[in-house]
Chain A
Amino acid sequence: MKNTFKDAILGKIKKENIEPLPKSYFTNKQRILWISIGIFFFFAMFIGGFLFDNTTEFFGMQKYGQRGWNYFFFPNIVWLLLLLVLIFFGLKRLKDTTVGYRNPYWKDILIGIVIIFVGSFILRGIGIGPMMHTFIAADIPVISNILYNGSSWDSPENGRLAGNISQIDSAKIEFRDINGQIWEIHIENAFISPFVERKQDEKIRILGHKISPTVFEAERVMPWFGGGMRSHKWFSEGRGMIW
């Protein structure tokens, strides 16, 4: 069998003109694999940042007694699940690389968590993370309305308002809520987040209490979401990264 088998194989290769696939095919395949792993981890870093934003904001607002635990758990559970899905697929792809399968899972998971943790802070630090969070939390209706329960901010009787600044000075804000109603907001005694830029048309959220049908006493004034406005400021001042 030996010689005839070898001859059969070499004969088949010759007859069917079988050629080895070029080396570039395999290097490109590996490259694509690594890029896809990078994309999974890049998005995971954003999600890690979202979790951090949500957590810090939630605990920052606790003393106002305005938000229940469901506001903390609902978006965070969704982000956490998405984060786990991204880590799962990232690691699965890693195992397909020429080196990834050699490490035990626990080691890859640990390294992945460290990368995501550090990456999240870098993205936050350079402003891209919060900007992305602001964008998806404010401008994607499904996320804005369902995940972040945007409509819950349309509740002046319960001390919550959201809308845009029409005019602002040191004592008050003229404010148009998400239904278009105009309010006078007193801000003399309010804590104003450093991430609020205090400019016309800026979208903000306010915690406080209703004094009359058109007057609201603010206790806390926040940007629409997290520190996103800071990054907008960075970009507008040319201090952020240039794409």
Chain B
Amino acid sequence: MEDRDIVKRISENPEVFGEIVDVYENKLMRYIIRTTDISVPDAENLLQDIFIKVYRYIHEYDARYSFSSWIYRIAHNMIIDNFRKHQKEIGNISLEDEEYMHLIHSLTDNNSPHRDLERKDIRMCVQKAITLLKTDYREIIILRCIEGYSYEDIADILKIPIGTASTLVNRARKQLRENLIKLSCNS
């Protein structure tokens, strides 16, 4: 579905909203789980609230921007609200193989030996290092290095200038590298 047609099609037939749910359900679920530390049932409830808000606010979407960024922005805002309500420590995040490799490549300047990175202990270490990041750094690492969003999209999701998004990504990467060193993951 083209971004610019979304609002029109949903206005004509609310059942079309099901397609949006299909496309974003798993992506947003992973995003929630990784940026917060809530149980799966709670995450499902939050996800449901996010989709209901997306449906109610569908006319707010401006077709000049990416629909994906807009829906992630709503998710981001609701995650923040939820986090404020139930502030607690974040647990370990889990990464799928491809995402893990993507993240590692984004942290290293050259081709690192895959054999070492694939070792289970290092992988655990990386996951722990991400967990130790501040909430906003963790979120930006997830958006940039795991979800693969551009700086422009990240700026739209977090409602910050593009330059700030780029700076935050660099700082988050630096912090992540430092965490890896602290955790003796630099082998």
Contacts and interface: CB of A to CB of B under 8 A. Distances in A.
B48 A21 contact: no
Contact of B161 (A22, A98, A101): A101
A2 B57 contact: no
Given A20-B55, A104-B161, A9 B155 contact: no
A24 to B, nearest CB: 9
A21 B10 CA distance: 13
29 contacts: A1-B44, A5-B25, A5-B44, A5-B47, A5-B48, A6-B18, A6-B25, A9-B18, A9-B21, A9-B48, A9-B55, A10-B21, A13-B14, A13-B17, A18-B56, A20-B10, A20-B56, A20-B57, A20-B58, A23-B59, A26-B60, A95-B159, A101-B155, A101-B161, A102-B155, A102-B161, A102-B162, A103-B161, A104-B161
Interface in A73-97: 95
Interface residues of A, number: 25
B4 to A, nearest CB: 15
Interface in B1-53: 10-11, 14-15, 17-18, 21-22, 25-26, 44, 47-48, 51-52
A25 interface: yes
Contacts of A21: 56-57, 59-60
Interface of A: 1-2, 5-6, 8-10, 12-14, 18-23, 25-26, 95, 98, 101-105
Interface string B146-187: 000000000100011111100000000000000000000000
B114 to A, nearest CB: 32
Nearest to A14: B14
B62 interface: yes
Nearest to B152: A102
B25 A2 contact: yes
Nearest to A10: B18
A21 B57 CA distance: 6
